[in-house]
Amino acid sequence: MHTAPRGLSRRNALKLAGAAGLAGIVTAYPGRRTFAASGPPLELPVERTRITIDGETSNAIAIGGSIPAPTLRWREGEEVIVHVTNRLDEPTSIHWHGLLIQGVMDGAPGFNGYQPIMPGQTYTYCFKLRQAGTYWYHSHSASQEQEGMYGAIVIEPADRDPVRADRDYVVLLSDHTPEAPEAVLRKLKVSEGYYNNGKRTLVDFFRDAGRDGLGSAMRDRLDWGKMRMDATDLADVTGYRFLVNGKGSRDNWTALYKPGERIRLRIINGSAMTIFDVRIPGLSMTVVAADGQNVVPVKVDEFRFGVGETYDVIVMPTEDKPFTFFAEPIDRTGFARATIATRQGMEGEIPERRPRAVLTMADMGMTHGMDHDPMAGMDHDPMAGMDHGSMQGMDHSSMPGMNHGSMPGMNQNSMQGMDHSSMAGMDHGNMPGMEHGSTASQNQAVGWADAGTPPDAKALSYADLKSFRAREPRAPTHEIEIQLTGMMSRYIWTLNGEKFDEGAPIRVAYGDRIRIKFVNTTMMAHPMHLHGMFVELENGQTDRMPKKHVVLVPPGQVTSVQLTADEPGEWPFHCHLLYHMASGMMTRFIVEPRTASL
Amino acid sequence: MRTTMTSPGRAALTAVAMVLVLSTGAARAADEPRLDHQSERFHEEPPILGTLLVDRLEHRWRDGQNSVDWDIQGWIGGDTNKLWFNSEGSKVVDGKLERAELQLLYSRMVSEFWDVQVGVRHDLRPEPQTTYGVLGFQGLAPYFFDVTAQLFVSEDGDLSARIEAESDLFITQKLVLQPFAEMNASAHRVSALHVGQGINDVELGLRLRYEVTKEFAPYVGVNWERKLGETANIARDHGEDPNDLAFVAGVRFWF
């Protein structure tokens, strides 16, 4: 495979695809590597192809001949050389998502002097691996990522891996649409709500009126109407098939095990637009790494999964039976499914589908217009210990019947005081006040954070993530507030109200320790991704703040991170929802060298 | 009645035409990102998009002459600047064209929900053909009403105005009820066009469409138009009924 000629013929491409397919199987056995990195340079041609999902074929773009692209298994400390050849008739690029890397090798056109790879050209990436863990790579040009340009990176640690596993699988989730991405973006811009097939209808109104009373249902509709917002706006794009390692739910990608084995699943959300709720009914998952960085193991039943994030989990099935890996998008328009089985061809049960949440006023700008500054000086840490249970219990069970009109008058201060960073995947299991078994909850989840988690199940919360190694972080010397903003009706997404390159870039000095505060003024969650550096999530874990490259900021909430600006360069900083980035939700994060003039 | 073009009217039209010419060129330039890193261009250009909505193309059955009526809008441009097109009109089935109006506007985003629009309107019918300067706004009002409000200055300097609003009520995901209302007013009597001073007419419509796809929806409905005040008197003097009730069936589609 390494000797694949630059002038790749169709037949060779097919061979390469076959080899890449094999490589996917090879990854099942730890110790074997798909590519011997210390060997010759790796060849990754980029070309148009067709993908068949559950029997339906559509257009796609492949890196290295397959979708997903071949899993790159490397070892920490190695130097790797990758030749990427563009066989498309448009510019392309490959970005190494999560890797600490020299700017020009990061692969984002328009940043750090990196130019897009023009048709027919080959670009040689060359970098040293400074970290271990699960990462991924994808196109950073146009909407090519949506068309299949994504693959997994697995970097084994230079030293002994603290995570022991008998089996090691990559589980790469993605969303695929038969539509051309340009057509998707156009529809989003010319026809608001085009892809929302779950709008609130008159039928819903009468159901809600019957349940909560006519006045309440009316007030709720009027509140949303007044804001010109849609309570069912959870995801912008539908028509997706949800894939596990490029396989549709009927194709059923299967991971094999022997009862009693420890299986490491390296789960990557390589979707363009889809936030998932992930679970494996019958198996609890022990999260051992987040965004490639080891965390103190935490046992969960499910987790909410932002676009671009990765979680490594250990599962230990002891029985000889198939288990279904199940990932539902938060708008519940389908599911990704795979099977963990003792033999090929086994199928587990498809679990019951979870209800689709209806957004509440709490998801929508309870924070609007508030003075956020007092938050800056506040100590977030003690808040993790707040009684989320009573808060959430109130929220979920009584919101439909509440007087939404009077919500703004609620005790906002105490709401604000909550640990927003941990809201994303709250611990529903510990919420005595909640009645998930009630009719309302079965038919309808209320509020963005409500994943419909059963009362006896544990959902991962950001607050659960504790860095494996303790650090003594410096206190941030200054704070940068980033408002996540947008105009849903026009499909313009912005940071601080400005589209990419309209606004001033963010500038920090090399070595600075800063806090970034994301203030989400929109009603959608935004997975915020910074290239070049990890951020440390302020989730109450003081000296064990987890390192992340993507932070999912829930609607209407505030999430803070810290970072040490120790990678000089000009880094992309953007929402990882592809069409949000494409419509402007991106800025430059410039780490400037310290000079006398500073 | 219809004499030479008054100078304020001509001046207004010239100004409007200039704005229009300048704006179409500016539309592209203004939507391009400002770059302070010329060498490091993010290679994606903001897309120039276009769309055309045939909101109403319908047969109207009434006591009297049936007609075919249309209402079309479209635009081409970017997020901030658009070249906007409107047309509406009515033709008697197997008969003459009674009303045909075309508008070409420069549309600029001024807030999250509102565009300000300026441009020209030309009425092919009724005769005499008349050209107007247009200043207006278009957007989404609270409670999801699509609103267009326009001020017109005719080539003769006559001032008139129109406001229209419509909304989509989803009965199911595919069955949509669309109420519609329009009102016209004039500051002057324009006898040649059978327009009186004051509020000229109100129009109310209710259409029920079935979205076979989001892009294509047949519908049925009812449309009621009532001429008022002096305009109604003028209509009566010409032997017309100021009331017009019609049952309609048509298609709504867009690209």
On chain A, the residues whose CB falls within 8 A of the CB of B40 are 110-113, 570
Contact: A226, B37; criterion CB under 8 Å: no
Distance CA A292, CA A71 (A): 15
On chain B, the residues whose CB falls within 8 A of the CB of A182 are 47
* Residue A230 pLDDT level (bands cut at 50, 70, 90): confident
Tell me how crowded residue B241 is: count the other CB atoms within 10 A of its CB.
Answer: 14
Interface residue B192 vs chain A (CB under 8 A): no
Contact: A501, B49; criterion CB under 8 Å: no
pLDDT reading at B23 higher than 70? no
Chain B interface, best mutation among A185, A499, A501, by max B CB count within 10 A? A501
- Of all residues in chain B, the percent with pLDDT exceeding 70 is 82
Number of domains in chain B: 1
Interface residue B39 vs chain A (CB under 8 A): yes
A37 belongs to a structural domain: yes
Distance CA B106, CA A380 (A): 50
Q: How close does chain B come to A85, measured CA to CA in Å?
A: 18
A597 belongs to a structural domain: no
Q: Any residues with CB less than 8 A from the CB of A70 and at least 6 apart, and which?
A: A20, A23, A24, A34, A35, A44, A63, A64, A151
Distance CA A431, CA A241 (A): 34
Distance CA B42, CA A500 (A): 10
Residue A3: exposure state from Cβ atoms within 10 A (0-12, 13-18, ≥19) = exposed
B39 belongs to a structural domain: no
Which CATH number does the domain housing residue A157 bear? 2.60.40.420
A108 belongs to a structural domain: yes
Among A129, A161, A193, residue at a domain's last position: A161
pLDDT at B13 (0 to 100): 52
pLDDT at A147 (0 to 100): 96
Interface residue B111 vs chain A (CB under 8 A): no
The β-bridge relationship of strands A478-487 and A513-520 is: parallel
- pTM of the complete model: 0.83
Task: Give the SS3 label for residue A405.
Answer: helix
Q: Any residues with CB less than 8 A from the CB of B211 and at least 6 apart, and which?
A: B174, B175, B176, B217
B88 belongs to a structural domain: yes
Pick from A185, A225, A499: CB nearest B144: A225
Contact: B42, A109; criterion CB under 8 Å: yes
pLDDT at A542 (0 to 100): 86
pLDDT at B22 (0 to 100): 46
Contact: A228, B140; criterion CB under 8 Å: yes
pLDDT at B45 (0 to 100): 59
* Residue A471 pLDDT level (bands cut at 50, 70, 90): confident
Chain B interface, best mutation among A221, A227, A228, A571, by max B CB count within 10 A? A228
Per-residue b or e along A240-256, where b marks 16 or more CB atoms closer than 10 Å to that residue's CB: bbbbbbbbbbebbbbbb
A574 belongs to a structural domain: yes
Nearest CA in chain B to A112: B40
- Of all residues in chain B, the percent with pLDDT exceeding 90 is 79
Contact: B43, A116; criterion CB under 8 Å: yes
The β-bridge relationship of strands A42-53 and A302-305 is: unpaired
Number of domains in chain A: 2
pLDDT at A560 (0 to 100): 97
Query: For residue A63, what are the β-bridge partners?
Result: A46, A66
Interface residue B35 vs chain A (CB under 8 A): yes
Count how many pairs of residues, chain A against chain B, have C-beta atoms within 8 Å. Answer: 82
Contact: A110, B43; criterion CB under 8 Å: yes
Interface residue B165 vs chain A (CB under 8 A): no
Among A128, A161, A194, residue at a domain's last position: A161
Tell me how crowded residue B117 is: count the other CB atoms within 10 A of its CB.
Answer: 22
Q: How close does chain B come to A252, measured CA to CA in Å?
A: 31
On chain B, the residues whose CB falls within 8 A of the CB of A110 are 37, 40-43
pLDDT tens, A310-356? 999 999 999 999 999 999 999 999 999 999 999 999 999 999 999 99
ipTM for the whole complex: 0.83
pLDDT at A39 (0 to 100): 66
Contact: A487, B33; criterion CB under 8 Å: no
Pick from B40, B109, B144: CB nearest A113: B40
Domain with B176, as residue range(s), is 7-29+50-254
On chain B, the residues whose CB falls within 8 A of the CB of A185 are 47
A67 belongs to a structural domain: yes
Edge-to-edge strand ranges of the sheet holding A526-530: A506-509, A586-592, A569-575, A526-530, A550-553
pLDDT tens, A505-517? 999 999 999 999 9
Contact residues, B window 236-255, toward A, CB-based 8 Å cutoff: 254
* Residue A38 pLDDT level (bands cut at 50, 70, 90): low
pLDDT at A410 (0 to 100): 36
Average pLDDT on A137-166 reads 96
Average pLDDT on A402-411 reads 36
A408 compared with A145, residue with greater pLDDT: A145
A207 belongs to a structural domain: no
pLDDT tens, A355-405? 999 898 878 764 443 333 333 333 333 333 333 333 333 333 333 333 333
- CB of A580 closer than 8 Å to CB of A553: no
Distance CA A578, CA A587 (A): 14
pLDDT reading at B21 higher than 90? no
pLDDT reading at A427 higher than 80? no
On chain A, the residues whose CB falls within 8 A of the CB of B142 are 225-228
Domain with A129, as residue range(s), is 10-161
pLDDT reading at A80 higher than 90? yes
For residue A91, give both structure tokens: 């510019």
Q: For residue B83, which of B151, B3, B27 has the smallest C-alpha distance?
A: B27
pLDDT at A198 (0 to 100): 87
pLDDT reading at A406 higher than 80? no
B151 compared with A423, residue with greater pLDDT: B151
pLDDT tens, A11-32? 444 444 444 433 333 333 333 3
**What is the DSSP code (8-state) at residue B22?**
H
Chain B interface, best mutation among A490, A494, A500, by max B CB count within 10 A? A490
pLDDT at A501 (0 to 100): 76
- Of all residues in chain A, the percent with pLDDT exceeding 90 is 70
pLDDT reading at A484 higher than 50? yes
pLDDT reading at A596 higher than 70? no
pLDDT tens, B38-93? 334 454 556 789 999 999 999 999 998 999 999 999 999 999 999 999 999 999 99
Average pLDDT on A249-259 reads 96
A490 belongs to a structural domain: yes
Which CATH number does the domain housing residue B128 bear? 2.40.160.40
pLDDT tens, A560-580? 999 999 999 999 999 999 999
Pick from A111, A142, A227: CB nearest B44: A142
A567 belongs to a structural domain: yes
Contact: B142, A194; criterion CB under 8 Å: no
pLDDT tens, B163-184? 999 999 999 999 999 999 999 9
Distance CA A312, CA A317 (A): 16
Among A118, A142, A161, residue at a domain's last position: A161
